[in-house]
Amino acid sequence: MEDRLNEVIIDEIPKEMDELYDKAKDLIASSEDVKIYSHNDCDGISAGAILSTLLDRLNKKHEIEIVPLDKLNDLKIANDLTIFADLGSGQDVDKFAKSDSNIIILDHHPPIRDFNYNGTVKHNFIEINPNYHDIDGSHFVSGGGLSYFLAKKLGFKDLSWIGVLSAVGDMQNSRTGKLEGLNSIILNDAVDEGYVDVIPDLSLYGRKTRPLFVALSFFSDVNLPITNNRTEAIALLESIDINPKIGDESRTLSDLTNEEKGKLFSALVSMLSKAVPSKYVYYIPKLVSADSYEFLMEEDMTFLRDASEFSTAMNACTRNNREDIALKILKGDRIESLDELIDISKEHRRYLAQNIHKIEEEDSIIEKENLQYFNGNGIRSSVVGTIAGMVLSSANWRKPILGFTQVSEESLDWKVSLRCSRLLSYHGIHFGNIIREISRSVGGNGGGHSVACGAYIPYDKKEEFLDKFNKRLNGVLEL
Ligand SMILES: [Mn+2]
């Protein structure tokens, strides 16, 4: 596989792109009434919060609507200015534009239009997308990041922390464990402004809020003795003289000294090196270490302090149709909305745990040569991916796992979500592209990241889809 880590990374805004930002700024200045459509995930909500805050500060009347991608076909264009954030590049969103409509798109997904499209239509159309400027939108800037650059043009560098959150929520750091490219500009702004601290750390989820032995037991990119086994996780810590507790209090990852983190890093690397085929050994350090980002204005040891835990809370809101709470939190409300956010997160975790238990209990993961899948009958389609990721730890990490569920109560069609070990993606497999190809071939559509992606497929095409997917991976997985 080619090693793409040596490619040249663009880390300043290209001139052509910067000029579009100047135009966008002028357009905002001359508009009195603005509509924002933004995507219903952490990145989209972050983008929406940045744009809404900057319009507040400019005293511009505006409305924001958070929308899923499948609801984008018939959006009205009725305001002075319509802004699409973290979506729009892949959709025909201006089909109802009138000649006096003004549209700005801030999206990092692959564009369907030509860069010179705005010269071919009557309405005013500004599309800012890194892919037009040779910048890969899946690793180097997110929808929230693109929105931040507009805020920065207007002098609002204090919103940079939301740009960092959006990038982490969008897994932009999944390539190397760091924020790179245009994301590094946003990160530097956030550090300069005193909002964010970068901490090189072990790559375990819940560094501020989970007992370390619990965080270790959730390690699922490779099935290790510690995976789903808290006793083994405690034994590992004790074997390298790391105390899992101080008094009655369990320690979290962020309680460890640097020396202790170093010992744990070495122990995990050696454990992993024994557990994986030799072709994967090269990627192990990347699997175990990553930069983490702390929001310095949030209280220490809370779930809003760590960017990755913060992004989980934002996702919990969008998956439970409570985007309103996520937006309020991002716009600064820590009084009324914080309790609601905690309740939503709790309920979300309860729902996930209950369904994961059901799948594991009923032994419902079915294995084919190159993949494994389960039928999440009744699982809400918005969380089937999260659940797939979590049951991977009790399945075969060498193969991707696909979860199926009904799209909605009104539709019998399938939503399918795929998750896999990061090792598969480091080794060069891009499941987002594969699922797009296979879903289209059965009359559906899909796409996404290399390790987390999904598709919608017609009700009667599930077997064909599975069959084609399985065959497509022949020789690709090198099991
Ligand atoms: Mn995004």
- In angstroms, rounded to a whole number, what is the distance separating the alpha carbons of residues 156 and 72? 30
- In angstroms, rounded to a whole number, what is the distance separating the alpha carbons of residues 304 and 295? 7
Cα 340 to averaged position of ligand 1 atoms, centre (Å)? 25
Among the listed residues 277, 311, 291, the one whose alpha carbon sits nearest the alpha carbon of residue 176: 291
- In angstroms, rounded to a whole number, what is the distance separating the alpha carbons of residues 470 and 80? 49
Tell whether the model's pLDDT for residue 6 goes beyond 70.
no
- In angstroms, rounded to a whole number, what is the distance separating the alpha carbons of residues 295 and 303? 10
- In angstroms, rounded to a whole number, what is the distance separating the alpha carbons of residues 82 and 141? 22
Residues forming CATH 3.90.1640.30 domain(s) in the chain: 4-170
Q: What pLDDT band is residue 5 in, cutting at 50, 70 and 90? A: low
Cα 141 to averaged position of ligand 1 atoms, centre (Å)? 9
- Per DSSP, the three-state class of 243 is coil
Token code pair at residue 391: 């049951």
Cα 241 to averaged position of ligand 1 atoms, centre (Å)? 42
Cα 271 to averaged position of ligand 1 atoms, centre (Å)? 34
What is this structure's pTM?
0.93
Cα 173 to averaged position of ligand 1 atoms, centre (Å)? 13
Cα 351 to averaged position of ligand 1 atoms, centre (Å)? 25
Residues forming CATH 3.10.310.40 domain(s) in the chain: 363-472
pLDDT, tens digit (0-9, with 9 covering 90-100), for 9-64: 899 999 999 999 999 999 999 999 999 999 999 999 999 999 999 999 999 999 99
Cα 329 to averaged position of ligand 1 atoms, centre (Å)? 19
Token code pair at residue 363: 């032994």
Cα 449 to averaged position of ligand 1 atoms, centre (Å)? 10
Q: Are 434 and 452 in contact (CB under 8 A)?
A: no
pLDDT, tens digit (0-9, with 9 covering 90-100), for 49-105: 999 999 999 999 999 999 987 777 778 899 999 999 999 999 999 999 999 999 999
Cα 87 to averaged position of ligand 1 atoms, centre (Å)? 8
| Angle of CA points 428, 184, 21, to nearest 5° | 105
Tell whether the model's pLDDT for residue 448 goes beyond 80.
yes
pLDDT, tens digit (0-9, with 9 covering 90-100), for 354-383: 999 999 888 899 999 999 999 998 899 999
pLDDT value, residue 1: 41
Q: In angstroms, what CA-CA distances link 311 with 162, 166, 167?
A: 10, 8, 10
Cα 419 to averaged position of ligand 1 atoms, centre (Å)? 18
Tell whether the model's pLDDT for residue 387 goes beyond 70.
yes
CATH topology for 363-472?
A: Diaminopimelate Epimerase; Chain A, domain 1 (3.10.310)
Strand-pairing partners, residue 446, are 455
Q: What pLDDT band is residue 2 in, cutting at 50, 70 and 90? A: very low
Cα 109 to averaged position of ligand 1 atoms, centre (Å)? 7
Cα 45 to averaged position of ligand 1 atoms, centre (Å)? 9
Cα 170 to averaged position of ligand 1 atoms, centre (Å)? 6
Residue 67 backbone phi and psi in degrees, to 5: -130, 145
Cα 277 to averaged position of ligand 1 atoms, centre (Å)? 33
Residue-by-residue DSSP string for 286-306: HHHEEEEEEETTSPTTSTTTB
Q: Are 45 and 38 in contact (CB under 8 A)?
A: yes
* HSE-CB of 383 using CA atoms within 13 angstroms: 25
- In angstroms, rounded to a whole number, what is the distance separating the alpha carbons of residues 145 and 127? 15
Which class would CATH give 4-170? Answer: alpha beta
Cα 318 to averaged position of ligand 1 atoms, centre (Å)? 14
DSSP state of 459: G
Cα 197 to averaged position of ligand 1 atoms, centre (Å)? 23
Cα 142 to averaged position of ligand 1 atoms, centre (Å)? 5
pLDDT, tens digit (0-9, with 9 covering 90-100), for 127-161: 999 999 999 999 999 999 999 999 999 999 999 99
Strand-pairing partners, residue 32, are none
Amino acid at 101: S
Token code pair at residue 93: 């969103």
- Per DSSP, the three-state class of 350 is helix
Cα 78 to averaged position of ligand 1 atoms, centre (Å)? 25
Cα 23 to averaged position of ligand 1 atoms, centre (Å)? 23
pLDDT value, residue 477: 86
Q: Are 317 and 326 in contact (CB under 8 A)?
A: yes
Cα 294 to averaged position of ligand 1 atoms, centre (Å)? 21
Q: Are 94 and 82 in contact (CB under 8 A)?
A: no
Instruction: Measure CA 138 to chain center.
Output: 10
Strand-pairing partners, residue 416, are 404, 455
Largest CA distance in the chain: 70
Q: How many CB atoms are closer than 10 A to CB 401?
A: 24
Cα 245 to averaged position of ligand 1 atoms, centre (Å)? 38
Q: How far apart are the first and last CA of the chain?
A: 15
Tell whether the model's pLDDT for residue 4 goes beyond 70.
no
| Angle of CA points 413, 414, 415, to nearest 5° | 130
Q: Are 364 and 374 in contact (CB under 8 A)?
A: yes
Out of 23-27, 30-34, 183-187, 390-394, pick the least confident. Answer: 390-394
Among residues of the chain, what percentage have pLDDT more than 90? 89
- In angstroms, rounded to a whole number, what is the distance separating the alpha carbons of residues 379 and 377? 6
Cα 369 to averaged position of ligand 1 atoms, centre (Å)? 33
Query: Ion ligand 1 — residues with CB under 5 Å?
Result: 43, 86, 142-143, 170
